[in-house]
Structure 1
Amino acid sequence: MKKVLLLLADGFEAAEASVFTDVIGWNKLEGDGTTDLVTVGIRKKLKCTFNFTVIPEMHISEVDIDEFDALAIPGGFEEAGFYKDAFSEDFLNLIREFDRAGKIIASICVGALPIGKSGVLSGRNATTYNLGDGIRQKQLSEFGANVLGYEPIVVDKNIITSYNPSTAFDVAFNLLEMLTSKENCTNVKKLMGF
C-alpha cells in the first residue's frame, strides 16, 4: 500500500486538500487499490480558509516518514493564518525529511512556499501562485527556486508544484501516476469523469 501524508496548515484551502483525498480515495476503492491517505496537522483542529473545520487524523509529532511514500501540501490564505503553520519549524522539518528520503512532495498553489522556505527547492525548478502582483512567485524565487512562472505544473525530480487552484486535480493525478502507473491513473481519471 502506498501511503500519502496530507499535511494541513491552519488556513488551508479545502478545495485544494480535497483533490488529494478524492483522487487517492477513488484509486483505493475503484482503481488498483494500492493507495491510502492520512491527514496530519500541527493543531488538534484546523480551520480552512473559509471556516470549514477539520480534525486531522495525526499530529505532526506522531509522523514516521518511513510509513509514507509521498507528502501532499495544499495552499491557503495568509489572511486565514496559513503561513503561521506552514512556515513553522515542525512543518518545514517534515518537508526536509521527505525530500532527504527522495519521497514525492506534491503541492498546489502557495503550498510551494513552505517547500521553498524549507530550502529543498534551492536551485530547482518550481512555481507557485501566479496571479495578482506576482508577489508569491517573487517570494518563491527569494527562497532560491528557479521559478517557471508560466508553467501551470512544474515537476523537478520528486517535487510537484503548481501555479494556482485551477491545477489542483492535475497535481493530484500527477501524484497518483507517480505512485502507481500511467495506465492506472488514466483509468481512475476515466472513472471520475475526466
Structure 2
Amino acid sequence: MTLRFGLLVFPNVQLLDFAGPYDAFASVAGAEVHVVAQTLDPLRCSNGLVFHPTAAFETCPQLDVLCVAGGGGVNASLVNPAVLGFIREQAAGARYVTSVCTGSLLLGAAGLLKGKRATTHWNALDFLKNFGAEASRDRVVQDGNLITAGGVTSGIDFGLTVIGEVLGQKEAETVQLSIEYAPQPPFNSGIPATASPEVLEAAKQRLLSSRKLREEILSAWV
C-alpha cells in the first residue's frame, strides 16, 4: 500500500521547514509526497523563492502523515478558517499528525495540542501554552501520534524520526545515508543556550516584527 505524506504550506512559508522533510520522505521507496496549499497558485517562500504546490485542499487525498510547516506565514494562517479546517479534517484520518518549527502553532490553533507535549522554534515556545500544550525544548518531540519538531533545520531530524517510526530504523538509516545527512555545524550557536548574548539578541531583533504580530493575534486567543 502506498504511504502518503503531505506537507502543508502557505504564502511566506519557511523553505527548509518543508524542503528538509520533503527530501527525506521522497527518498522512501514507493512513497507519495504531496506539497499541499489552499490552491494550486504559485507560492512565495519567506526567502523569496517561488514554487508550485502539487495538491490543493479540495483535491488532496487522505494522508497517512500530515506535516504542517512554519514560517512568517503562520501568522495569517492562524486566522484562516480554510487552513485550520483542512488540518482538522486530515488529522482525523491521518496515522501521524506532525509539524516543523512554528507549524505546531497551527496544530494548536486547530485544537490538536491540548494536553500534549510539543515543541516549536525557540522564539515561539512560550506561545504553546496558549493552546494548552506542554512546551518542550527537545529537537523532536513525540506524544502518541503527534510528532513536532523545533526550528527550521530540525526538519531533517524530524523527517528521519517519522520514517523510523512508520517504517523502522533500517529504512530511516538508509534514507539518512542516501541524503548523506551527517551534520557538522561550523559554529556552536544553533540554540539560545549555546549562542553568545550578542548573537541571541541579534537573532531576536531579526525575528521581532513577526513575533509582535503573532503576539497580537494570540493575545485574544480563546
Q: TM-score, normalised by structure 1?
A: 0.85
Q: Is the 8 A contact 2:17 2:152 kept in 1?
A: yes
Alignment partners' CA distance in 1, 2:79 and 2:19 = 22
Q: Tell me how far apart the structure 2 counterparts of residues 165 and 113 of structure 1 sit (CA, whole Å).
A: 14
> Cα–Cα, structure 1 residues 40 and 86, in superposed 2: closer, same or farther, change >3 Å?
farther
CA shift, 1:157, in A, is 1.0
Asked if the contact 1:16–1:74 (Cα under 8 Å) also holds between the matched residues in 2, the reply is yes
SS in 2 for 1:56: coil
Unaligned stretches of 5+ in structure 2? Answer: 182-222
> Counterpart in 1 of 2:70?
75
Instruction: State the superposition RMSD in angstroms.
Output: 1.6
Task: Give yes or no for contact 1:2–1:35 (8 Å, CA) kept in 2.
Answer: yes
Q: In structure 2, do the counterparts of structure 1 residues 74 and 7 end up closer, same or farther at CA, with 3 Å as the change threshold? A: same
Aligned length: 179
Q: Which runs of 5+ in 1 are unaligned?
A: 28-32
Preserved contact between residue 6 and residue 73 of structure 1 (Cα < 8 Å):
yes
Supply the AA of the counterpart residue of 2:91.
Answer: D
Alignment partner of 1:193 out of 180, 192, 201: 180
Mapped to 2, the partners of 1:87 and 1:129 lie a distance apart of: 20
Do the aligned residues in 2 keep the contact of 1:87 with 1:114 (CA within 8 Å)?
no
The structure 1 segments of at least 4 consecutive aligned residues displaced by more than 6 Å after TM superposition are none
For 1:87 and 1:173, how far apart are their aligned partners in 2? Answer: 31
Aligned to 1:94: 86
Q: Show the 5 A alignment for 1:31-180.
A: 33-43=29-39, 44-65=41-62, 68-77=63-72, 81-131=73-123, 136-148=124-136, 150-180=137-167
Query: How far did residue 7 of structure 1 move?
Result: 0.8
Three-state SS of the structure 2 residue aligned to 1:165 is coil
The amino acid across from 1:109 in the alignment is C
- Percent identity between matched residues is 21
1:117 Cα deviation from its structure 2 partner: 0.8
Give the letter for the 1:70 counterpart: V
| Structure 2 letter corresponding to 1:98 | Q
| Structure number, greater radius of gyration | 2
Amino acid at match of 2:33: L
Q: Aligned-pair distance for 1:106?
A: 2.1
Q: Give the TM-score normalised by structure 2.
A: 0.75
Are the structure 2 counterparts of residues 26 and 17 from structure 1 closer, same or farther at C-alpha, using a change threshold of 3 Å?
Answer: same
Q: Deviation of residue 178 (structure 1)?
A: 2.5
Aligned equivalents of 2:36, 2:107: Cα separation in 1: 16
SS at match of 2:75: helix
- For residues 78 and 109 of structure 2, the distance between their equivalents in structure 1, rounded to whole angstroms, comes to 9
The answer (yes or no) to whether the contact 2:66–2:91 under 8 Å persists in 1 is no
- CA deviations over 1:56-81 (Å, ceiling 9, x no partner): 1121122232xx2111122111xxx4
Alignment of 1:5 with 2:2, yes or no, is: no
Q: What does the per-residue CA deviation read over 1:32-85, in whole Å, with 9 as the maximum and x for residues that have no partner?
A: x131201111131211101111111121122232xx2111122111xxx43213
Q: Structure 1 CA distance, aligned partners of 2:4 and 2:43?
A: 22
Q: Contact 2:74/2:103 (CA < 8 Å) preserved in 1?
A: no
